[in-house]
Chains A and B, each alone.
Chain A
């Protein structure tokens, strides 16, 4: 079960070529289901961009799972607290006001999580456009397409930068810009695109990193609240007072305890975004290596494993 959603990659030999960092890339990489057969430098470059786009797609899918989990955990934690504390609200009007107020706040949070997800998906589209631009036969219209995707990313990012979550303004957590120089590429459309926008795109990936730094901290609190309440209701109380323990009591106890540990690993999302950013810079500098892609895949798998462990322990989701 744990391995069902994991992303695997394997490698195949790339042909030797006599140029720059490309030659140090002795193997080309591909994600499962994608076979890249390369011949010559142009093909090796295509492979690099293609593999990066694939890693970007995998990152977007996995990060969407984290965003979904963050939304679900916030709602679940709030619902469990509301249920537990409902008796303390003495009148129907008090109860109505409480739940309307909290629903309103949760909706605001879901809107922000949705924006971060859309921002990630637009980045994925941009990486796919770059991969297409790496092909020397790419049509000229692709440059316009890249501009269009970039404009959409730029339109979304101020809302995310200015948003606060868990007491932290996302914009304040953006890591410092990395200095890098765009390499010379034979595909001129690609080179022009990278020269025009790669520094801005690096900042947009940094925004993803900042967003996940903030999200995982909030997610940890919500999940801890949820799991603690479940531990009390489903493990401690039945053990203390029930005449007979439910048959699934040992299994449930184990799930909850294991999920408490898994919560701590939810920071993998931020690590995956950081690795994606590092790899993007390496790609632009024409030095994307096998360990870089392997590093992203490992971080993405770590994200998926942690989400899976949490989902398993919170079956109400």
Chain B
């Protein structure tokens, strides 16, 4: 996969994730979770939103090498996250895969 495709698919996954994390279905799920997980869910929502804004404004040529170097981790992260978002089995599992992908994105672009 070339760096443009890795870039697009990563951002697309972040967009899909932010849409899922703001959905009424996810909100209902989180409301039934323990307080700590509710707090974590909000923290991850903020991280995903920040990451998608930063990544969307980044010029591809500036991050192409880093994307390529992290290709496998990014693709694995996207696949795992999408599977969890589709299942929506537990809040904990979803948050874990989000955190994992965002940590890889943070190696490519500086995140807060």
A residues sitting closer than 8 Å to B (CB atoms) are 77-78, 80-82, 84-85, 87-89, 97-98, 101-102, 105-106, 108-109, 162-169, 172, 218, 221, 224-225, 228-229, 231-232, 236
Contacts and interface: CB of A to CB of B under 8 A. Distances in A.
B100 interface: no
A144 B106 CA distance: 50
Interface string B26-53: 0110000000000110110110011001
A94 B86 CA distance: 31
B75 to A, nearest CB: 15
Nearest to B45: A85
A81 B57 contact: no
B24 A88 contact: no
B54 A167 contact: no
Interface string B1-42: 000100111111001001100111001100000000001101
Contacts of A169: 4, 60
29 contacts: A80-B22, A81-B45, A81-B46, A82-B49, A85-B49, A88-B40, A88-B45, A89-B43, A101-B54, A101-B112, A102-B53, A105-B50, A105-B53, A109-B57, A164-B7, A165-B57, A166-B11, A167-B8, A167-B9, A167-B10, A167-B55, A168-B8, A221-B18, A224-B19, A225-B22, A228-B19, A228-B23, A231-B24, A232-B22
Interface of B: 4, 7-12, 15, 18-19, 22-24, 27-28, 39-40, 42-43, 45-46, 49-50, 53-60, 112
A31 B47 CA distance: 48
A214 to B, nearest CB: 10
Nearest to B11: A167
A23 B109 CA distance: 59
A277 to B, nearest CB: 24
